[in-house]
Chain A
Amino acid sequence: MRGVNVALGAAGLAAFLALGEAVPRLGLVKEAYFPPTTRVADALAGELADGAFWTALGDTLTGWALGLAIAAGAGIVVGVVVSVVPYLREATASTIEFLRPIPSVALIPLAVLLYGTQLRSVLLLVVYASFWQILIQVLYGVQDVDPVAEETARSYGLGTWARIRHVLWPTALPYVMTGVRLAAAVALILAITAELVIGAPGLGARIAVAQTSQAVPEMYALILVTGLLGLLINVGARTVERRALAWHQSVRGEVAV
Chain B
Amino acid sequence: MRRLLAGLAAGTFLLATAACGSSGGSGTSGKAASSGGVTTVKLGLIPIVDVAPVYLGVQKGLYEKHGLKLSITTAQGGAAIVPGVVSGQFQFGFSNVTSLMVAQSNNVPVKAVSNGIASTGVQGKDFNALMVKKGSAIKSAKDLEGKKVAINTLKNINETAVRESVRKAGGDPGKVKFVELAFDQMAAALDKGQVDAVCVVEPATATVRSQGGVQIASPLVDVAPNLTVALYFSSQQYAQQNPDVVKKFQAATAESLAYADQHPDEVRQIVTTYTKIPASVLEQVTLPKWPAEPNRSSIEALEKLGEQDGLFKSTPDLDKLLP
Set of chain B residues within 8 Å of A73, measured between Cβ atoms? 9-16
Task: Give the complex CA separation of A169 and B6 in angstroms.
Answer: 10
The answer to whether B44 and A70 have CB atoms under 8 Å apart is: no
Set of chain A residues within 8 Å of B2, measured between Cβ atoms? 169
The answer to whether B26 and A112 have CB atoms under 8 Å apart is: no
The answer to whether A30 and B75 have CB atoms under 8 Å apart is: no
CB interface residues, B 274-301, toward A, < 8 Å? 274-278, 281
The answer to whether B19 and A117 have CB atoms under 8 Å apart is: no
Residue with the highest number of chain A CB atoms closer than 10 Å, among B16, B74, B211: B16
Task: Give the complex CA separation of A103 and B39 in angstroms.
Answer: 40
Q: Does A113 contact B (CB under 8 A)?
A: yes
Q: Which candidate, B84-92, B167-175, B225-233, is the interface stretch facing chain A?
A: B84-92
Q: Does B23 contact A (CB under 8 A)?
A: yes
Set of chain A residues within 8 Å of B145, measured between Cβ atoms? none
Q: Which candidate, A85-93, A205-213, A231-239, A249-257, is the interface stretch facing chain B?
A: A205-213
Chain A, interface size category, equals 35 or more
Task: Give the complex CA separation of A197 and B76 in angstroms.
Answer: 6
Distance between A43 CB and nearest chain B CB, rounded to angstroms: 10
Task: Give the complex CA separation of A256 and B42 in angstroms.
Answer: 61
Interface string of A1-30 (1 = CB under 8 A from B): 000000000000000000000000000001
In the complex, 14 of the A-B residue pairs with CB atoms within 8 angstroms, ordered by the A residue number, are A69-B11, A70-B12, A70-B15, A72-B9, A73-B12, A73-B15, A109-B83, A114-B26, A116-B90, A117-B89, A118-B89, A169-B2, A198-B80, A215-B276
Interface residues, chain A, with chain B CB atoms under 8 Å away: 30, 32-33, 66, 69-70, 72-74, 76-77, 108-109, 112-118, 120, 123, 169, 173, 196-199, 205, 208-215, 218, 243-244, 246
Q: A113-B87, A116-B44 are in contact. List 13 more A-B contacts (CB 8 A).
A: A33-B187, A66-B15, A72-B12, A73-B16, A77-B13, A117-B75, A120-B26, A199-B80, A209-B274, A209-B275, A210-B276, A212-B182, A213-B47
